[in-house]
Amino acid sequence: MEKKDNAKKAGGIFDFVSIIALAIVAVALSFTFIFRTITVVGSSMYPTLRNGDRIILTAFYTEPEYGDIVVTSQPCEDPIPDVLVKRVIATEGQTVDIDFNQGIVYVDGAALDEPYIAELTRDREDFTGPVVVPEGHIFAMGDNRNASTDSRDDRVGFIREEYILGKALFRMLPFGQFKIG
C-alpha cells in the first residue's frame, strides 16, 4: 500500500513539473514568435508612455492604422536610437499638414482629435508640408510633440512599413498601468 502511495505522489509531482515545464516552453515560444517586449527609451511618447516603461507588442501586425503605437527599427542617421516608439499619424496616400501657429495636425484636410498629446505641436523640426505619405510608408509622431524626433525630422522621415517590428498591445511594466491610451 505504501508503494502505491509513493508511486501516486511521484506521479503527481511528475505531472506538476511537466505542466510547469510546458508552460515555460509555451511562454518562451510565444515571446519568440508571437510577442516581443521593448523598453521605452526617452520621453518622446509622454504622457502615454514614460522612459523605462516595458511594453509588449505583437509581431503579427500587417496594416498600420491611425492611432496605433508602433515600434520601428528603420535605419536612421546618428544620433537617432536604433528602435523608435511612435504613433501612426497617417498611412500611404494620405496628406499630412501641420499648422505650427495653432499647433494642429491635419490629415487629408481634417484636424486630428489628439487627446493623447502632451501639448500642441509647435516644433517644426525639418517639416515643410503638406506632404503625401508614399506607398508602403507611414508618417509617425511622438505624443510629446515638442520633444520627439519623428517623421518631421529628415533623419527619420517617412517610415517604411517593412521596418515596423510590431504594434504596442499593452504595458508590462510598471505593474498596474497595463493600458496604453
Single-letter amino acid, residue 126: D
- Write down how long the chain is: 181
* Residue of 30, 44, 73, 167 marked catalytic: 44
Q: Can 86 be counted among the known catalytic residues? A: yes
- The whole-angstrom separation of Cα 91 and Cα 165 is 16
Q: In which region does residue 103 sit, left (phi positive, over 0), alpha (psi from -120 to 50) or beta (all else)?
A: left
- Residue 98 has which C-alpha cell? 501641420
Q: Can 9 be counted among the known catalytic residues? A: no
- Residue 28 has which C-alpha cell? 518562451
Start-to-end C-alpha separation, the chain: 60
* Residue of 86, 148, 151, 167 marked catalytic: 86
Q: Which residues are annotated as catalytic?
A: 44, 86
